[in-house]
Amino acid sequence: MTLITSLFGDSPLLLFPTTLSGWGGLLLWIGVLVGLLWRWRAFQPVWGRRQRLLFVLLLFSSPLAVGFLGFRLPESPMLTLPGIAFDPGSTPVMVLSALPWVLAGGLLGPFAATGVAVAAGLFFAAYGSHTIFTLLEWGTIALLVSVALQQRFRTPAFRWLRHPLVSVLMVGLLYPLLFTLGAVLLAQGSLASRLDYAFVRLPTAWLAFGASALMGGGVAELLRLGIPRAWGGQPPYIPSPSESSLETRFLVVFVPVFLTLLLVFMLGDWIIAGRAARDMLEKRMASVSLAVADDLPYLLNVGQSAVAHLAENLHPDVQTPAEMRAILEREIASLPFFQRIYVLDAQQQTLLSLPEGEYQVAMTTLIEQVGVGMAVEAAIPVQFYAVPSLENAAGQELSFIATVYGQDGQVAGAVIGRTTWEANPLAQSLLANLSGLEDLDGVGMLVNEDGEVLYHSPAERMLSVYKGKKLGEAALLDTVAPDGSRQLVYYRPVPGTTWGVVLMVPARQAQQIALEIAAPVIGTVFLLAIAGIVFLRVSLRMITGSLRQLTDEAERIAQGQLDHALQTDGADETGRLRRAFERMRLSLKARLDELNRLLRVSQGVASNVRLEDSLQQI
């Protein structure tokens, strides 16, 4: 971890999307942000002269908060943007970068918070993250935090959201979604490559943003305790949407829980699919490398036996070059293992060669020269080496060396048999296995103990040296390719040699397989979730619609309008409630009709003095 005294030491660089989908997503995001600002304009307080001065102060202090007092995390291999030749490096953690927009959100409202966050994000994007989407990520988070701080709803959940630290923590949970969206829109290539880049860089980016947001929220919480009346969300408090509508109350309780469970399920499905995809790739790479590791010792053993058999039939002290040539041609016809054969005498001079040609020291490497010397001088029976190809400067050949003895049992020279990987009939199975990952854009290599590449498939992607780890047992490693992309490397040592099998597959292949596994399940669950929410809303509308009708009927009854009959169909609770209302209406209507009759009789009796007339009224 290294401290940062200033972030403005390097030249600014800001990357924009390079694809049509990236630009479309950028413009759509801007439109959604502006639309939310307009929709929530009621949360914006009226400014006076003091508020305008404070906004200017926070706006111009945002570069200082972004540029100073920070640190960088320990260096780790990071990915470059897919399709863009630029390494963004590790994201710096600027401790005070979120403080201006958190203060603006609590003191000045959503418009100021969004503006200050976009300004701060512009500087951080130019000198830190180098992506234009940082502005929108910060602006969106700042808008949501400001609305949470400015609302005046009276329920406990909304009261907690008026605390800066709580609102920053809750809204900050959305940052991974926003960052992933921005990274996917900025990068090029397949969706798997973009997701792989986003997921690798997400932990560092989230840590950088979370540290600064928590610092800003903590300082703002202390200021809120010190000057509570200056903050938004002051009384009088009003009923929350869940208090005003039964439908909203159900949705507020049910939808967050449902979406959380849905998100957990989708995330779990993606993690399981990712592990399954990685296991599938690992098993396939292990199978391919094992087949190559099993074929190679057999090839080397056959080569050593073949060159030793040739040496046994050659006796330069009693055989003429013509006789030795006939022997070599006969042996090669029975086992066409070698393409070039050199017979040297004890002074390492060429006696004969197939095809014709002198064995020249300049044509080989030092290790083969040492091998020839060991065969002639130390009588080492059989040796094998990988040497540069005589035909392909970028390729390698196998060189087998055996000691040749004379009739008297003394060392008479050496025989060298050379074979190329492509021309050797016994190597074809090995080469086919080594090319078994080309459908995954993979690479197969044979390397020696120094990492020099002995054979590479495909040849057009040839590497001269393997610089990765060489372990004592088979293992799968995560590394970064020379182009900056992430790749999976499987290394397996070859038994009986110092060589190893190296297989490389781009990590995006694992993401692609994971997408193919998880996408159908996630898509189905997502559609079912939408259908469930729509069904819930329709069902709630039916219930709340019946309750509204009953409310209207109660209002009419309260006003004395008892002639409106209710529909009494349905056997559920709403139907029984309707029937109870209808019985109540009829009972009240009968009671009022009776009272009206009694009133008319009373009035008739009272208006007649004579007893006969009063009895007639009764």
Of 552, 609, 537, the residue nearest 585 (C-alpha): 552
pLDDT tens profile 320-350: 888 888 888 888 888 788 888 888 888 888 8
Helix, strand, coil % in the chain, rounded to nearest 5: 60, 15, 25
Instruction: Kindly state the helix (H) or strand (E) to which residue 514 belongs, with its residue range.
Output: helix 507-558
| The pLDDT of residue 78 | 53
| The pLDDT of residue 611 | 58
Tell me the pLDDT band of 377, cut-offs 50, 70 and 90: confident
Tell me the pTM: 0.73
pLDDT tens profile 541-575: 777 777 777 777 777 777 777 777 776 666 666 77
Tell me the pLDDT band of 32, cut-offs 50, 70 and 90: very high
| The pLDDT of residue 362 | 47
Unique residue bearing structure tokens 């008892």: 562
pLDDT tens profile 102-125: 999 999 999 999 999 999 999 999
Tell me the pLDDT band of 584, cut-offs 50, 70 and 90: confident
Contacts of 430 (CB under 8 A, 6+ apart): 292, 295, 296, 299, 421
pLDDT tens profile 442-495: 889 898 888 888 888 887 666 777 877 777 788 888 887 766 677 889 999 998
Of 66, 30, 24, the residue nearest 186 (C-alpha): 24
Whether the Cβ atoms of residue 95 and residue 211 lie closer than 8 Å to each other: yes
User: For the ranges 97-111, 173-187, 565-579, which has the lowest average pLDDT?
Assistant: 565-579
- Residue 464 has a CB neighbour count (10 Å cut-off) of 9
| The pLDDT of residue 179 | 93
Of 561, 592, 565, the residue nearest 581 (C-alpha): 565
Q: Which DSSP string corresponds to 203-262?
A: HHHHHHHHHHHHHHHHHHHHHHHHSGGGSSSPSSPB--HHHH-HHHHHHHHHHHHHHHHH
Query: Is residue 486 classed exposed, middle or buried when 0-12, 13-18 and 19+ CB atoms within 10 A define those classes?
Result: buried
User: For the ranges 17-31, 458-472, 501-515, 596-610, which has the lowest average pLDDT?
Assistant: 596-610
Tell me the pLDDT band of 167, cut-offs 50, 70 and 90: very high
Query: Is residue 222 classed exposed, middle or buried when 0-12, 13-18 and 19+ CB atoms within 10 A define those classes?
Result: exposed
Residues linked to residue 455 through DSSP beta bridges, in sequence order: 446
Distance, in Å, from the CA atom of 123 to the CA atom of 115, rounded to the nearest integer, reads: 13
Cα angle value 202/442/462 (rounded, 5°): 110
Cα angle value 104/107/110 (rounded, 5°): 55
Distance, in Å, from the CA atom of 443 to the CA atom of 475, rounded to the nearest integer, reads: 16
